[in-house]
Amino acid sequence: MATTTYAPLPAQTRSLAAPTSRSGIWVGIFAITMFFAAFTSALSVRQGSGDWSHITIPSIMYANTLALLLSSVTTELSRRSITKSQASGSAMRAALPWLGVTLLLGVAFVVGQYLAWRELAARGLYLATNPNSSFLYVFTAAHVLHLLGGIAGLLYLGVRVAADSTTLRRSSFDNTAIYWHFMGVLWLYLLVVIGIRL
C-alpha cells in the first residue's frame, strides 16, 4: 500500500471559542418549520374535500400581528443595547428595559389570540365545527404554544440578567432573539394561510 504523508489541516479560521448553540437554534427552527409544513399539507389535502366555507378571521388578529412585529423590533433594540465589549454580567442589564417591553408585547399577543378564539366561539366556530375552524384553531394554538416557549426563553434571560449572572453568554441572547423573530415570520406565514385559504 502507498504510504501517506500526513499534514495537519491548516489552523481553523473559525474561532475555537465559537458559540456552539448557534447552529442549534437553526436546527430547531428547521424542525419547527417541518412541523408546520405537515399541518399545511394536511390542510391542502383536506381542502380537496369540498365542504369548505370561508372564515373571516377576527380583526383582533391584525392587531396581534402588529404587536408581534413590534416585539421583534424591541427584541433587536434590547439585543443591541449590549455593546460588543460587554460580554456578560451586570453589563447586560442595559438590555433589560427593551426586553421587558418585548415580553409585554408577547403576552399581549397571546392574550389577543385568546380573545380571537373567544370571538370565534361567539360566532359558533369551535374546534370541531367544520374543517376550516379545525385548522384555524390547530394552526393558531400550535403557534401560541411555540411562542410561549419563546416567552419562557425571554423570561429566563431576564431573570439571569437581573441576577447579574456571570455565565450567561451573549450567544444566548442572540439565539433567543433569532427564535423570537422566527415566531414572527411564522405568524406572518400562518396569517396568510388562515386569512386566505381558510
Footprint of another protein (CB under 8 A): 1, 3-9, 11-12, 16-18, 20-24, 27-28, 30-32, 34-35, 37-39, 41-42, 45-46, 48-51, 127-128, 131, 134, 138, 142
Rounded to the nearest whole angstrom, what is the least distance from the CB of residue 6 to another protein in the complex? Answer: 5
Between 27 and 159, name the residue whose CB sits nearer to another protein: 27
Q: How far apart are CA 7 and CA 12, in angstroms?
A: 14
Cβ proximity to another protein, 88 vs 94, nearer residue: 88
Least distance to another protein from the beta carbon of 132, Å?
Answer: 11
Task: Provide the minimum distance between the beta carbon of 56 and another protein in the complex, in angstroms, as a whole number.
Answer: 21
Q: Are 62 and 115 in contact (CB under 8 A)?
A: no
- Closest approach, Cβ 101 to another protein, in A, equals 29
To which H or E segment does residue 59 belong?
Answer: none
Contact 183, 147 (CB under 8 A): yes
Measure the CA–CA gap between 147 and 184, rounded to whole angstroms. Answer: 9
**61: Cβ–Cβ under 8 A, 6 or more apart, which residues?**
112, 113, 116, 191
Dist. CA 92–CA 107, nearest whole Å: 23
Residue with cell 414572527: 184
Which C-beta is closer to another protein: that of 18 or that of 104?
A: 18
- Closest to 168 in 3D by CA, of 86, 98, 102: 86
Q: What crossing angle do the helices spanning 170-192 and 60-81 adopt, rounded to 10°?
A: 160
Between 46 and 181, whose beta carbon lies closer to another protein? 46
For another protein, give the closer residue by CB, 14 or 84.
14
Smallest distance from another protein to CB 63, Å: 28
CB of 29 to another protein, least distance (A): 10
Judged by beta carbon, residue 32 or residue 177, the one nearer another protein is 32
